[in-house]
Amino acid sequence: MNIFTFSQTLGGVCLFFVYGASAVDPDRASVSVMEGDTVTLHTGVEMNQRDRMIWIFGEDRLAIINGDKHELCEDVECKERFRDRLKLDHQTGSLTIMNITITDSGLYNLKNTTLNTDNIFSVNVHGVSAAERDEIKRKSVKEGESVTLDTRVIKKPTDVMRWYFNDSLIAEMTGDQSEICSDVQCKERFRDRLEVNQTGSLIITDTRTTDSGLYTLQIRSGRFSIMRSFTLTVSVKDVPDSGSSSSAAVVVVVVLLLLLLLVAAVVYYKRQAIMQFIRRQRRRQERREQREDAQAPEQIETLMQRSSTGTTRETEAAGETEAAGETEAAETEAAGETEAAGETEAGETEAAETEAAGETEAAETEAAGETEAAGETEAAGETEAADDTEAADQSQL
């Protein structure tokens, strides 16, 4: 029998899924799986009470089966390596390795001491990062959306693929034939919303919140089987779940009640403070009024005294003002007389000066007349003498 090999590239890591029997060693089967898968190595026989089998990994005994008695990991090293990840089928002696790790890679030998046979299984585990593993195995969608749970394998015609939802069979594919929801409960739950494609991947359309849960893929191929789990979460679209809404409502109500209590307490203490302030103000006002009542007679007497004193001072001031007025009038009258006398004297002086000026001007006029007459007489004499001289000269000629 040939060994069948295929590979799938995932996040930059090439994952090989190799299974089948070796052409050189017909009793050896090889399988290559992804870290985190569950692998079952099948014996292919039905055990009876006389059979004695031993599972060996390297140099460690993983399990000893003697009729209806069995023991897993009898030594400390085996227990430390696998830590409750091993499981035996009491009917067939098949060994299951759960949540397989890279350190689990190697040869697993099944010795049947009763039949004196050896069956060898070669297991190769490829590691992937936690982020890549979560991307493959954890899906989250909104209600009404579609989701595909990808097998990431190339299916053989002889492979049998089964899909389980919370341990209930919902789809099975053998070769090219597939069957969806063989029971009534599955049909009622999914109502024609499931589909399996050619690679065996499961497609869920028009998802609902009730579709949330654990989906398990089982691939059975001759001497071994692989189980891979997927977690699907379907959330309500743009609507918080009822539990969260109820919790939020309770929180809001509690907060509102606390706020109301706080406001009531503040109002009460504020009112008390205002009332105390008003009472203090009233007491102060009463004491002030009492003091004012007690001081009223004294204030009235003081005012009367001040009024009497003020009247006397006003009378004196009026007398002083009147005397000052009379003095001012007398001074004004004297000033008037002085001014009149000054004006009279000035007038007389001005008249005298005018008269003197007139006399002077008359004298000057008279002198000027006399001078002008003398000049004219002299000129006339000179003219006349000249004329007489000229006439005498002409007579001589």
Query: Which domains are delineated in the chain?
Result: 28-126 (2.60.40.10), 130-235 (2.60.40.10)
Q: Are 19 and 30 in contact (CB under 8 A)?
A: yes
% of the chain with per-residue pLDDT over 90: 34
State both tokens at 11: 């996040």
Q: Are 44 and 29 in contact (CB under 8 A)?
A: no
- Summarize pLDDT for 255-283 with one digit per residue, the tens: 999 999 999 999 998 889 999 999 999 99
Q: Please state, rounded to an integer, the average pLDDT across all residues of the chain.
A: 77
| Residue among 273, 225, 198 at smallest CA distance from 37 | 225
CA 216, distance to chain mean position in Å, is 42
Q: DSSP character for 23? A: S
Q: Which helix (DSSP H) or strand (DSSP E) does residue 10 occupy?
A: strand 3-10
| Residue among 82, 106, 79 at smallest CA distance from 96 | 82
**Radius of gyration from C-alpha coordinates of the chain:** 71
Across 125-129, 191-195, 359-363, least confident range: 359-363
pLDDT at 337: 58
More confident residue, 285 or 364: 285
Angle at 168 between CA 167 and CA 174, to 5 degrees: 105
Q: Are 114 and 50 in contact (CB under 8 A)?
A: yes
More confident residue, 10 or 206: 206
For residue 148, give every residue at least 6 positions away whose Cβ sits within 8 Å of its Cβ, in sequence order, or none.
201, 202, 203, 204
State both tokens at 149: 């749970």
Rounded mean pLDDT, 128-138? 87
User: Measured between alpha carbons, how far is 95 from 65 in angstroms, rounded to an integer?
Assistant: 11
Q: How many C-beta neighbours within 10 Å does residue 51 have?
A: 17
User: Measured between alpha carbons, how far is 123 from 141 in angstroms, rounded to an integer?
Assistant: 34
- Summarize pLDDT for 172-208 with one digit per residue, the tens: 999 888 899 988 999 999 989 999 998 899 999 999 9
Q: In the block, which residue shows the tokens 């071994």?
A: 224
Give the CA-trace dihedral at 151, 154, 157, 158, to 10 degrees. -70
User: Measured between alpha carbons, how far is 19 from 196 in angstroms, rounded to an integer?
Assistant: 22
- Summarize pLDDT for 55-105 with one digit per residue, the tens: 999 888 899 888 778 888 878 888 888 888 999 988 888 999 999 999 999
For residue 45, give every residue at least 6 positions away whose Cβ sits within 8 Å of its Cβ, in sequence order, or none.
51, 92, 93, 112
Q: How many C-beta neighbours within 10 Å does residue 57 have?
A: 21
Predicted model pTM: 0.53
Rounded mean pLDDT, 337-342? 50
User: Measured between alpha carbons, how far is 206 from 146 in angstroms, rounded to an integer?
Assistant: 6
